[in-house]
């Protein structure tokens, strides 16, 4: 409201959030059944990003679940809105000082998600974005890799193909059907990724968990 945008919760079809602007006034509509509350907060932050940054691009933004995880490869505008929301809700200095381990763990993620009151996904992406080591988060649904994000080092070194089937040697393969956690365990690099150039790295540590609420498996990859 201080910025001129009012947040309302209501019905939205096939989108998580929508921003409509008329001059200096705007309405941010958030899908009313967004759960848990951290997802709602992230969606508001995302629309505030459009509000502050994209006045000259469009007067209306309709943003989907995919937009909330978009990176620069997919959409510069959506990635900017996500960067804005991440920085607003999880300021870098506070976040980094709370990341106790350099490698992402589920215990660490739950604690940060709780502390900053954001979504699990946004917290995981923020972690790998700020990590100074090789690590990645991969989300798979029904045995297929849906999307992934790596730290800068990781993305320079490895490539994971979204759309591919999850390898049967991956921990994510075990948990997909059985609704539980796997790992951390060592897996060979080619279980998940292709090397972009020759590297003396042959294994990842993988921890995977199935989240019934989201119907996805999240895998955290790091180096042994
Ligand atoms: Zn958006």
What is the tens place of the pLDDT at every residue in 137-184? 999 999 999 999 999 999 999 999 999 999 999 999 988 766 688 879
Strands 194-195 and 158-159, by their bridges, are: antiparallel
Domain that holds residue 161: 90-222
CA–centroid distance, 31 to ligand 1, in Å, is: 13
Check whether residue 163 and residue 213 sit in a common domain.
Answer: yes
Q: How far is the CA of 110 from the centre of ligand 1 (A)?
A: 25
CA of 66 to the centre of ligand 1 (A): 9
User: Ligand 1 mean position to 50 CA, how many Å?
Assistant: 7
Planar angle of CA 48, 137, 140, nearest 5 degrees:
100
Q: What three-state secondary structure class fits 26?
A: strand
Residues of the chain with pLDDT under 70: 177-179
Q: What is the pLDDT of residue 179?
A: 63
Is the domain of 106 the same as that of 191? Answer: yes
For residue 177, the model assigns a pLDDT of: 63
Does 84 share its domain with 94? no
Rounded distance from Cα 155 to ligand 1 centre (Å): 24
- Domain tally for the chain? 2
Cα–Cα distance for residue pair 24/3, rounded to 1 Å: 9
| Centroid of ligand 1 to alpha carbon of 32 (angstroms) | 17
pLDDT in tens, 85-97: 999 999 999 999 8
What is the structure's pLDDT at 44? 97
Query: Hunting for tokens 């119907």 — which residue is that?
Result: 215
| Per-residue pLDDT, 99 | 82
Same domain, 152 and 62: no
Compute the distance from residue 78 Cα to the ligand 1 centre, in Å.
5
Cα–Cα dist 128/69, whole Å: 13
Q: Check whether residue 26 and residue 126 sit in a common domain.
A: no
Long-range contacts of 51-55 (CB under 8 A, 24+ apart): 51/3, 51/4, 51/5, 51/19, 51/21, 51/26, 52/3, 52/84, 53/80, 53/81, 53/84, 54/80, 54/81, 55/21
CA 86 / ligand 1 centre spacing (Å): 13
Q: 204 and 145 in one domain?
A: yes
Is the same domain home to 96 and 114? Answer: yes
Look at residue 178 in the predicted model and tell me its pLDDT.
Answer: 65
């Amino acid at each position: 409201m201080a910025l001129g945008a009012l947040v309302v919760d209501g019905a939205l079809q096939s989108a998580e959030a929508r921003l409509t602007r008329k001059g200096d006034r705007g309405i941010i509509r958030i899908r009313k059944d967004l759960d848990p509350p951290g997802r709602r907060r992230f969606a508001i932050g995302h629309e505030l990003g459009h509000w502050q940054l994209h006045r000259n691009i469009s007067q209306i933004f309709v943003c989907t679940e995919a937009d909330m995880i978009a990176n620069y490869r997919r959409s510069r505008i959506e990635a900017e809105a996500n960067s804005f929301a991440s920085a607003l809700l999880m300021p870098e200095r506070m976040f980094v000082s709370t990341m106790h381990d350099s490698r992402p763990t589920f215990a660490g993620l739950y604690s940060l998600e709780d502390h900053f009151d954001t979504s699990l996904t946004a917290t995981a992406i923020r972690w790998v974005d700020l990590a100074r080591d090789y690590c990645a988060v991969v989300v798979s649904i029904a045995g297929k890799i849906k999307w992934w994000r790596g730290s800068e080092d990781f993305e320079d070194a490895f490539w994971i193909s979204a759309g591919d089937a999850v390898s049967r040697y991956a921990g994510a393969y075990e948990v997909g059907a059985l609704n539980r956690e796997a790992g951390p365990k060592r897996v060979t690099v080619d279980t998940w990724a292709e090397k972009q150039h020759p590297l003396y790295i042959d294994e990842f540590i993988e921890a995977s968990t199935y989240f019934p609420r989201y119907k996805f498996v999240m895998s955290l990859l790091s180096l042994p």
